[in-house]
Structures are given as C-alpha cells and as structure tokens.
Amino acid sequence: MELLWCEIDDAALIENVRTFRTLQGPNVRLAVAVKANAYGHGLIDSARAFLEGGADWLCVHDSRDATILRTAGIDAPIYILGPIATSDLEAAVESEARMVVYDQAMVLRLIQLGRPAKLHLKIETGNNRQGVPVDEALEIARLIAESGNLELEGVSSHFANIEDTTDHRYARNQLALFDEAVDRLRDAGHPVPIRHLSNSAAALLWPDQAFEMVRVGISAYGLWPSKETRVAAALAGRGEINLQPALTWKSRVAQIKDVPEGQYVGYGCTFMTTHASRVAVVPVGYYDGYDRGLSNLAHVLIRGVRAPLRGRVCMNLIMVDVTDISDVEVGDEVVLLGRSGEHSISAESLADWAATINYEVVARIGGHIPRIRVRASDPGSPERQIPYRAPKPTQGESS
C-alpha cells in the first residue's frame, strides 16, 4: 500500500488537448510542453496521453528528456526548448529532436557534426531570455542556410507578460515585433515555415494569432495560467472553456495522537492547541514538494472533510487537526491536492498559501512519488460535474 502517490487522470489530459484542438482548428500544430516531468504529471505516460488526444509535437527542456521519450518508443516530433550542452548535442541530433537556437556557436558546432538537424530561431521581443535581436537572427539564419546539413524550420519567441495581467499591451507589442522579425527573415530569403509564439495564455486568449503552431503547457494539464487569464478569457467570450485538472495528490494517515490543551505541535512551537485535540501525522513534507510555506495555512481533506495543518511542514511529515472528523483511522486516505467528496483543494489554493503559482506547485511534486494512471472521468460523468459553490471568504478556496 502506497503512503504517498499521485493519481493522474489521462482522460482529462486527452480532453484538454481536444479542447485546444477545437479552439485552434485542424491546421495549427499543437505542441504540448512536457518539461519538468510533464509539469509533475509523469513524463512518458503524460506524453502518450497527449498524443492520444491529438497533440502533434512534444516540447521538452533538455536533450535528456528527448532521449527518454525516444527510448520509450515515442516517435512524434520533439522540440527542445532549453540549452543543450556541447556534450549532449550529438544525442540531441540522434534523437531527431528539433532544437531552439539563439547563438552562432551552436550552429557552428552542428555544422561540424555534419548531420541533419531542424532548428528554430528564437527572436528577442521583450522577454530577454534566449531570444536574439533581428540582425543577429539574420546572421544565424544565413549560417544555417549555407550549412548544407541544417534547416531553419521555425521561428519562435515567448511572451513575458501575458498571464500576469489583463493589460496585454506589452504582449501585443511582442507580437508586433515578432511579425516584423519574420518579415525581415522572409525578405532575406528564409521561408520560415513554422512560426510559433503562443503559450497557454495566448492560445486561450488569441486563437486567431496562433501562426503555424502553439506551445501549450499548463492548460494541457487542466490548469489556468492565472486568474487574470481566466478573467480575460471570460471577457473575450471564452468563459465556457472547461479545462480538466488531471492531478490528485494523496497520502494516508500514518498515526493519530491525542494532544492535550495548551501543547505545541511541530518545529519552532508555531502552533499551540487551544483545546484537547486529535492530530493525525501524514507522511508528506517539503522534500516531496509540499512547500514549507504551507505551514499552519493549508488544509488537507480526510473523509471529505477539511483538516487544517498544525505547525510547520517537516521534511517528510505534516501534522493535521482531525479533532472534528469522526472515525478517522490510521490508513485513511488524505487528499493533499484534488477532490474528495464535495470539497477540493486546487493547485491555485496551494499556490496562494505558499505564495507561488500553480505551475510551481505541480512541477515540484517529487519525481520519486509514484504516478498512478487512472481514467476516472469522461467529462460527462457525474464525478466531473462540479457544483458551483459560492466562495467563503475565510477559506481561500477556488474551484
């Protein structure tokens, strides 16, 4: 019996890809980002689910993940988003991964290798991460064109300020700069067959600006990039988009203790019982990606009831108050993230408590924790019909 595990609903992953397919139409390539262990959802199985749902490409951070996917028998196009160490360049080429390119040195090394490779040039439009100014891009494109073994398959850029705000002037300016850069490359004789700029937020908000490909990450996992994106989507008339979160994170009650009134719980004596309490010990901690910032703030769900954290999150354990939950037993399931009965704990709630974003919450769930694949939910099933509950101000919970 596992004491700490994740259940990943592959049906939800598939459904989310289909949602993006409907939004983008049949002609836009859907590239799904499976970096960071598929945002914590498990690299290989999530990649397979996305492809089953109709994803065209997979995006990884490094050549290691590209090789892992190839070894698993996945032959879909793979695009490496991150830097590639010189020592890994040959493996990257071997895996037939597309690669982002943003300097001449990498192109020169690839020319030396002499093997065919498809490259995507990253343009600087305002993120100041990876991109190169247009003049340098033209120079790199010329090197690629003259190489004989390399192909400039695509041109990309990345939004800096689209999900963090409902004011999209900065993003619109990036879009304009991207267009300008593509025009200059095309004028110089580089055809640039695949242009791609959109992440989840842009794909949700501006499906008409998808170019030839979108790179969708967080929302393929059923999570909105931010509240702002959700508001902007609603304002743009796309409030009906129904993303399906796929990840549930669970543990079990390992011990139940009776703690008298006036006793401290946990390191630093940050919590004192105000009455005789029952405290359950649950084997998850910051080592597992359960953020220490959740100390004394978060709650978990046991038997469908909220149990608040008491004291600090330890390396491998937390303590929760189960005084008011009847019949709790050692071995009972504990939902750390996800749904239990009528209640749910969202990645957004955990993010708010820990002062971070939902991306970090799921991406940091430890790779050592088993991911159990389930297909619980087709979207029509009653399980998925989540009733609207008016938010209660003190509970900080969103659905």
Ligand X SMILES: *Cc1c(COP(=O)(O)O)cnc(C)c1O
Nearer to ligand X, 127 or 149 (CB): 127
Q: Do the beta carbons of residue 90 and residue 112 sit within 8 Å? A: no
| Smallest separation, CB 41 to ligand X (Å) | 12
Environment class of residue 182 by beta-carbon count within 10 Å: exposed (0-12), middle (13-18) or buried (19+)?
buried
Nearer to ligand X, 185 or 218 (CB): 218
Structure tokens at 13: 């992953």
Nearer to ligand X, 81 or 284 (CB): 81
| Smallest separation, CB 218 to ligand X (Å) | 4
Q: Do the beta carbons of residue 254 and residue 283 sit within 8 Å? A: yes
Three-class SS of residue 49? helix
d(C-alpha 208, C-alpha 69), whole Å: 31
Three-class SS of residue 34? coil
C-alpha dist (Å) from residue 341 to 98, 137, 281, 346: 44, 54, 21, 14
Nearer to ligand X, 120 or 250 (CB): 120
C-alpha dist (Å) from residue 273 to 142, 268, 269, 277, 298: 70, 14, 11, 7, 17
| Smallest separation, CB 116 to ligand X (Å) | 23
| Smallest separation, CB 167 to ligand X (Å) | 18
| Smallest separation, CB 31 to ligand X (Å) | 8
Cα 87–chain centre separation:
28
| Smallest separation, CB 223 to ligand X (Å) | 9
Three-class SS of residue 33? strand
Identify the active-site residue in 35, 118, 122, 250: 35
| Smallest separation, CB 258 to ligand X (Å) | 45
Q: Do the beta carbons of residue 364 and residue 371 sit within 8 Å? A: no
Nearer to ligand X, 58 or 282 (CB): 58
Considering only CA atoms, which of 129, 41, 114, 75 is closest in space to residue 363?
41
Residue 122 among the catalytic residues: no
Q: Do the beta carbons of residue 399 and residue 348 sit within 8 Å? A: no
Binding site for ligand X (CB under 6 A): 33, 35, 81, 158, 199-200, 215-218, 225
Environment class of residue 27 by beta-carbon count within 10 Å: exposed (0-12), middle (13-18) or buried (19+)?
exposed
Nearer to ligand X, 35 or 168 (CB): 35
d(C-alpha 13, C-alpha 34), whole Å: 12
d(C-alpha 371, C-alpha 377), whole Å: 17
Residue 39 among the catalytic residues: no
Structure tokens at 145: 């064109």
The length of the chain in residues reads 399
Nearer to ligand X, 8 or 218 (CB): 218
Bridge-based pairing state of the strands 98-101 and 117-122: parallel
Q: Collect all residues with Cβ–Cβ distance below 8 Å to 287 and sequence separation of at least 6.
A: 315, 316, 366
| Smallest separation, CB 158 to ligand X (Å) | 5
Q: Which amino acid makes up residue 354?
A: A
Nearer to ligand X, 12 or 320 (CB): 12
For ligand X, the nearest residue by Cβ is 217
Identify the active-site residue in 227, 257, 267, 287: 267
Active site residues: 35, 267
